[in-house]
Amino acid sequence: MASVSKRYPVRARDFLHAGEASIQIQAFLKAMGLDAGLIRRIAICSYEAEMNAVIHGGDGELEMTLADEWVTLEVRDAGPGIADIELAMQPGYSTADETAREMGFGAGMGLPNMKANADELRLESAPGRGTRALMVFRREAAGGGAP
Amino acid sequence: MKLSEIVRELEAVALTKEDCLEREITRCAGSDLMSDVLARPTEGILLLTGLTSIQTVRTAKIAGVAAVVFVRGKTPPPETVALAKAERLPVFASPLSLFVCCGRLHARGMTGLDGRR
Ligand SMILES: Nc1ncnc2c1ncn2[C@@H]1O[C@H](COP(=O)(O)OP(=O)(O)OP(=O)(O)O)[C@@H](O)[C@H]1O
Ligand SMILES: [Mg+2]
């Protein structure tokens, strides 16, 4: 089975470039002719995870793999990690600082948005161990939309 | 409403090239919270916001927003306008408050993202 991967560096606190990788992934998937609803879900997840790494995490990497039957997103960062993942997943929970809030982040909706839009979300994190968000999208589910 | 009518109603000025003013937009969101925008059906909408950072353009792009109006007379920094041009996102600036912008567009028949008025 043919698959293609794209990898982008993500830099902590680099707000001038934050989100660029996700915009490029969105453009690439459009060029590949994927279903518009599926691209939307992938782009939202990618952007939320990328912004989380920039805002709360540390330097890391965003990797997207397009295969015949699925698309995966993996966002890894070497930041401080998340102590209580269940709490972080609660809609409205946020530790975003003033700088992030001035740019419109800190609604505490990023992780819930990722959960709603991905067919599968795995969040691995521990204090001092960084964070890894893995998301899977089934291509045949295209157009089904998020719950 | 046509984008050109929206611009007139909001007394707004174009910050990017005015080449899509014929576009019809029926739904509108007013928000300063980016993830709240991303949580809702935003394809082809008008976004009214007081946030002028470059992240507003990236969020709008990811969300499939059709056009952005910066409210309260804020002038966005040059990098915001430059990215909007590069990404072909029409952006405008209105001297009116978010409240007044919403009120004027609502009075002209525009709806929220779920189609309600
Ligand atoms: N990569 C990460 N590294 C460390 N902490 C994280 C990371 N991602 C999320 N968190 C923690 O989880 C919380 C909730 O994240 P979530 O994306 O849901 O909301 P937010 O980023 O605070 O606000 P929003 O995404 O709505 O702008 C964050 O405030 C932060 O405390
Ligand atoms: Mg977030």
- CATH number of the domain within which A44 lies: 3.30.565.10
**Test the B interface: residue of A35, A40, A45, A89 with most B CBs within 10 Å:** A40
A146 found inside a domain: no
Is position A147 within any domain? Answer: no
pLDDT of residue B20: 87
Q: Taking a C-beta distance cutoff of 8 angstroms, is the pair A25, A45 a contact?
A: no
pTM beyond 0.90, yes or no = yes
Under CATH, what is the fold of the domain B3-107?
3.40.1390
- Is the reported ipTM for this assembly greater than 0.85? yes
Orientation angle between helical segments A36-55 and B54-63, nearest 10 degrees = 150
Chain B within 8 Å of A61 (Cβ-Cβ)?
no
3-class SS of residue B39: coil
Answer whether residue A144 is part of any domain: no
Range of the domain at A70: 3-138
Let me know if residue A80 belongs to a domain: yes
Task: Flag whether A121 is in a domain.
Answer: yes
Whole-number Å distance between alpha carbons of A90 and B51 = 25
Identify whether A116 is part of a domain.
yes
Enumerate the residues of chain B whose CB falls inside 8 A of the CB of residue A18: 55, 58
**pLDDT tens, residue by residue, B51-87:** 999 999 999 999 999 999 999 999 999 999 999 999 9
Q: A109 CA distance to ligand 2 centroid (A)?
A: 6
Residue A143 to chain B, least CA–CA distance (Å): 14
Question: What total of structural domains would you count in chain A?
Answer: 1
Closest-approach residue (CA) in chain B for A114:
B39
Whether residue A107 and residue B63 make contact (CB cut-off 8 A), yes or no, is no
Residue A53: inside a domain, yes or no?
yes
In a domain, residue A143? The reply is no
Which residue intervals of B10-77 are DSSP H helices? 34-38, 54-63
Q: For chain A, which ranges sit under pLDDT 70?
A: 1, 141-147
